[in-house]
Amino acid sequence: MRIGINTLPLSRVRAGAARMILKLIEELYATDSENYYYLYSDRDFEFPCEGTRWQKRVWSPVRFLPGTLWLQTAGRRMIIRDRLDAFWSTNNLLPLGLPSSLAKILTVHDLLWPIYSKIADPFHRCMYGLFFGRSIHEADRIVAVSQSTAGDLERVYPVPEAKIEVIHHGVSAAFKPQDRQVATEYVVNKYGASKDYILTVGTIGPHKNLITLVKAMKILRQRGALSLQLLVVGARGRKSSEVLSALHSSNLTDNEVRFLGFVPEEDLPMLYSAASSFVFPSLYEGFGLPLVEAMACGAPIIASNTSSTPEIVGEAAVLVPPTLPEAFAEAILQVRSDEGLRRAIIEKGLNRASCFRWDRAARQLMNSIREAVVEKRARSVNIEVSPPNKK
C-alpha cells in the first residue's frame, strides 16, 4: 500500500500530540517492511527516511502559512498527486475533498474546542469550526485515543459508533523507575530544584488548570505544611499569563513554585522518578500521556477525576474534583504521610502502565488502515460490477 501521513506536528514543538504521533511513526518505521510511506509537512523535520519506502513530502508555496490552511491547500494537492491507497491524518483534521477512492483515517485526540470553547485558542476554534465537522464526515475510520474521546465524539457529533475505533497510546521503554537518589541529584544539579518536590507536566494553558494547583500550594503554606517545591514542566501556551498572575497574587516564591519550561524527553524519567508525587489537575484530557509516563516511572499520582483521566489511571491514583484546591492540598498531604497508600499507588501504577504499549498501538493502527483500504476497494468493485438500474 501507498500510505500518506500528516506529519505537520513533527515540524513544531514536539509536545503533547506530536510526541504521540512520533512514537507511532517510529514503530511503523521499525516494523513494517511491506508498505510505502509519504510524510507530508510544510517544514522539514527530524526523522530518518532511508531507502525508497519512506519519503518526505515537504513543500509550501508561502512562508508562515498556518498548518491547518496548508493542509487544506498545498498538502491536499500533494496528497492527490501521489495517488495514495490510504491517508492517515494524525491530528484531528483531514484535508477536505480528497478522492473518494482514497481510504481516509483520522485520529481525534480530544474535543477541547467545542467542550471548552471559551478557553480554546480563537484561531483554532475558527479552523475547527470550519473543518472538523466535515473531517469526521469524510473520514472512513476515526481513531479515538480513549473511550472518553470516543464518547465525546458520539455525544457532540452524530458519529456512528461503528466508525470509531479506540486505540490507546503507549509509553516508551525509557520511562521506568530510576534510582531515586541518582535521579534526585540529577534534577537538583541540572535544574536547581529542591530535593523534595511535586511535579506536573503539560503545556501551560487554561484547561491544564494550574491555577487550582497554585491555590493548593498556597493552602499548604498557610497551614505551615509547605516543605516541598512545585516543579512545572511544559512550554507556555495561551493565557499562561493568568497562571503567572495567580502565582504573583499568592506570594509564592521561586523556591516554592518553579517553571522549568520545555525539557528534553530524556530528562523526564529522572523528573518523574525523583518526584514526591505527580499532580495532574487538568480540566480536560483526550488521553493524558504524562499520566502513563509518571505511572511507568513509579511516581504516585494525584489527578482530576474528569474526562479520560479515570480511564487511563484506573485505581492507580488519588482522584479529586479539579476545581477544589483544598482537595488537592489534602491529597498531597495524604500521599506524603500515608506510606501504605503511597506504596499501593506506585505498585498499581507500574502494573497499569504496562498495559500501554506503542507496538500494540501501531499494530492496531495498521489493522485499521488495512481494513479501511479493503472496504474502500470492495465498495469500488461493487459499484463497478453492479448492473444498471432497470425501470
Least confident of 48-52, 119-123, 226-230, 311-315: 119-123
Q: How many whole angstroms separate alpha carbon 220 and alpha carbon 15?
A: 30
Residue 389 has pLDDT above 70, yes or no: no
Residue 365 has pLDDT above 50, yes or no: yes
**Per residue in 24-39, pLDDT tens?**
999 999 999 999 999 9
**Per residue in 175-184, pLDDT tens?**
999 999 999 9
Q: How many whole angstroms separate alpha carbon 379 and alpha carbon 372?
A: 11
Cα atoms found within 13 Å of the Cα of residue 259, Cβ hemisphere only: 16
Neighbour order of strands in the sheet with 301-304? 257-261, 229-233, 197-201, 277-280, 301-304, 318-320
Model pLDDT, residue 387? 43
More confident: 168 or 203: 168
pLDDT class for 250, splitting at 50, 70, 90? confident
Residue 359 Cα to chain centre, angstroms = 17
Taking the model in full, what pTM does it have?
0.91
Model pLDDT, residue 239? 56
Model pLDDT, residue 240? 63
Model pLDDT, residue 385? 41
Residue 211 has pLDDT above 50, yes or no: yes
Domain ranges of the chain: 2-170+357-385, 180-353
**Per residue in 183-203, pLDDT tens?**
999 999 999 999 999 999 988
CATH of 2-170+357-385, one of 3.40.50.2000, 3.30.450.40, 3.40.718.10, 3.40.1280.10: 3.40.50.2000
How much of the chain, in percent, has pLDDT values that exceed 70?
Answer: 95
Model pLDDT, residue 352? 98
- Among 363, 366, 358, smallest CA distance to 171 is for 358
* Span 121-140, average pLDDT: 91
Residue 386 has pLDDT above 50, yes or no: no
pLDDT class for 238, splitting at 50, 70, 90? low
Model pLDDT, residue 383? 56
- Residues written for the chain: 391
**Per residue in 326-344, pLDDT tens?**
999 999 999 999 999 999 9
Model pLDDT, residue 285? 95
Domain at 180-353, CATH homologous superfamily: Glycogen Phosphorylase B; (3.40.50.2000)
Query: In the 8-state DSSP scheme, what is residue 102?
Result: S
pLDDT class for 16, splitting at 50, 70, 90? confident
* Span 226-238, average pLDDT: 82
* Span 377-388, average pLDDT: 63
List the grid coordinates of 262: 520545555
Beta strand 164-166 with 197-201 is unpaired
Model pLDDT, residue 263? 93
Model pLDDT, residue 235? 81
pLDDT class for 388, splitting at 50, 70, 90? very low
**Per residue in 264-320, pLDDT tens?**
999 999 999 999 999 999 999 999 999 999 999 999 999 999 999 999 999 999 999
Query: Which contacts qualify for 344-347: CB closer than 8 Å, 24 or more apart?
Result: 345/300, 345/301, 345/316, 345/317, 345/318, 346/298, 346/299, 346/300
* Fold: same for 2-170+357-385 and 180-353: yes
pLDDT class for 1, splitting at 50, 70, 90? very high
pLDDT class for 345, splitting at 50, 70, 90? very high
Residue 363 has pLDDT above 60, yes or no: yes
Model pLDDT, residue 116? 85
Least confident of 247-256, 292-301, 361-370, 377-386: 377-386
Model pLDDT, residue 17? 81
